[in-house]
């Protein structure tokens, strides 16, 4: 939804880095949804 990361960057990440990136990205999406629900 909010990802414009080049494929080469994805492929260069270790699984550990990818896991943390996904977790952080999901937190951003959750915050955006919460703000939208609050009418911000």
* Residue owning tokens 């990205």: 25
The pLDDT assigned to 5 comes to: 82
Domain with 33, as residue range(s), is 7-37
* Count of domains forming the chain: 1
Q: Which sign, positive or negative, has the C-alpha torsion 31, 24, 12, 16?
A: negative
Structure pTM?
0.69
pLDDT tens for 5-40 read 888 988 999 999 999 999 998 999 999 999 999 886
Alpha-carbon distance of 29 to 22, in angstroms, equals: 10
Judge whether 2 lies within some domain: no
């Amino acid at each position: 939804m909010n990802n414009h990361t080049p494929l080469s960057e994805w492929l260069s990440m270790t699984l550990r880095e990818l896991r943390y990136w996904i977790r952080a990205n999901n937190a951003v999406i959750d915050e955006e949804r919460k703000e939208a629900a609050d009418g911000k």
